[in-house]
């Protein structure tokens, strides 16, 4: 801050003449080399631990996708099918095949005040309060003309339907005018179809039915209701739909705590790294003796605990508990 100029705390630029006069610590050259060697070694081991946690999260994501992709099997994996849907394949004999427009009706209600509150459609969290993910809420005057969605309705990001970006509204709120809001008809559990729309087969069919320019994530492909409506969908009884949803939730309840814990551990490791760097480069921790005994690269099988046990006492109690639990 002392070397920057500007208005307030936001629009500030680095002021080079002031920067030249800022005092900085200058340890001896051998001490600088020891710090650099120690932090390079520590960072490599921390990155290895973070990578392992992220691999676990990816594995859990794959397990969740597998659960969704086996949606039909959640009801009856032994019965022979007497019906099929071209893009999905065989379905249990008790299920009907009907066009999407019989199950979902597109509605277009617009806000005249923008006071209903903005909802954010996110891949994992679904349709949630946008204020949970932004520090600068959008004023209501900017939300006039946004679409109103009501509890139990499905929201589709038309531009990203091919990657399964759908959500079910739990409360009334506003969504982007470019989204589709779908009211479900009688005998439809929206959560069942939310899982269906996230299957690999459904996403591939959405991609085939989308229109626009370009391909892949860089393209501007949209799935319009006119193309979505004729799409053939499976229709189990409402009891079977709810049974599938309960089964999926039960299976996912086993992966959710593991994912949450792994994500917390990644955040704690990143926090620890920042704290460690700050303490070492400011001389709070003398690492010269440690650096002198370090190999040039981490040994295979090294873990974070052996390097950081002494310094872990500097972290909050929660961080120490999480680290100990991960060993």
Place of tokens 């903005």: 118
Residue 304 has what pLDDT? 43
235: three-class secondary structure by DSSP: strand
Which secondary structure element, helix H or strand E, spans residue 40, and what is its range?
A: helix 29-69
Residues whose CB falls within 8 Å of the CB of residue 232, separated by 6 or more in sequence, listed in order = 85, 86, 87, 97, 98, 99, 100
Judge whether 215 and 221 are in contact, CB under 8 Å.
Answer: yes
Other C-beta atoms lying within 10 Å of the C-beta of residue 261: 15
pLDDT given for residue 135 in this prediction: 77
Structure token pair of residue 2 = 């002392």
Q: Identify the segments of the chain with pLDDT beneath 70.
A: 1-16, 18-19, 72-83, 213-219, 296-327
The confidence score (pLDDT) of residue 125 equals 85
Find out whether 197 and 67 touch, Cβ atoms under 8 Å. no
Tell me which CATH homologous superfamily contains domain 80-198+205-235.
DNA methylase specificity domains (3.90.220.20)
Does the pTM exceed 0.85? no
Residue with the two structure tokens 């872990």:
312
Q: pLDDT, tens digit, for every residue of 252-307?
A: 888 888 888 998 999 999 999 999 999 998 888 888 888 888 876 555 444 444 43
Q: How far is CA 218 from CA 47, 129, 157, 212, in A?
A: 30, 27, 15, 12
Cα separation, 180 vs 213, in Å, equals 19
Domain range summary for the chain, segments of one domain joined by +: 27-75+237-327, 80-198+205-235
Q: What is the largest CA-CA distance in the chain?
A: 81
């Amino acid at each position: 801050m002392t070397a920057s100029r500007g208005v307030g705390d936001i629009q500030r630029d680095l002021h080079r003449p002031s920067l030249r006069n800022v005092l900085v610590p200058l340890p001896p050259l051998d001490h600088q080399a020891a710090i650099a060697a120690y932090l390079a070694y520590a960072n490599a081991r921390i990155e290895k631990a973070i990578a392992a946690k992220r691999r676990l999260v990816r594995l859990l994501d794959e397990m969740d996708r597998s659960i969704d992709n086996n949606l039909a099997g959640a009801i009856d994996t032994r019965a022979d099918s007497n019906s099929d849907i071209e893009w999905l394949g065989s379905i249990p004999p008790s299920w009907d095949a009907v066009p999407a427009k019989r199950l979902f009706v597109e509605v277009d209600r617009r806000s005249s005040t923008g006071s209903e509150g903005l909802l954010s459609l996110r891949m994992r969290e679904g349709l949630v309060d946008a204020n949970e993910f932004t520090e600068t809420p959008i004023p209501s005057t900017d939300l006039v003309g946004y679409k109103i969605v009501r509890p139990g309705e499905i929201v589709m990001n038309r531009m990203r339907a091919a990657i399964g970006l759908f959500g079910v509204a739990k409360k009334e709120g506003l969504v982007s005018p470019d989204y589709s809001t779908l009211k479900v008809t009688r005998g439809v559990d929206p959560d069942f179809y939310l899982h269906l729309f996230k299957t690999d087969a459904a996403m591939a069919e959405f991609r085939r039915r989308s229109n626009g320019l370009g391909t892949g994530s860089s393209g501007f492909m949209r799935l319009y209701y006119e193309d979505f409506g004729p799409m053939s969908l499976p229709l189990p009884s409402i009891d079977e739909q709810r049974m599938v949803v309960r089964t999926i939730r039960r299976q996912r309840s086993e992966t959710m705590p593991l994912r949450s814990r792994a994500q917390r551990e990644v955040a704690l490791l990143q926090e620890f790294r920042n704290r460690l760097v700050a303490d070492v480069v400011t001389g709070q921790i003398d690492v010269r003796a440690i650096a002198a005994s370090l190999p040039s690269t981490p040994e295979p099988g090294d873990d974070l605990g052996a390097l950081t046990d002494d310094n872990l006492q500097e972290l909050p109690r929660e961080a120490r508990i999480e680290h100990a639990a991960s060993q």
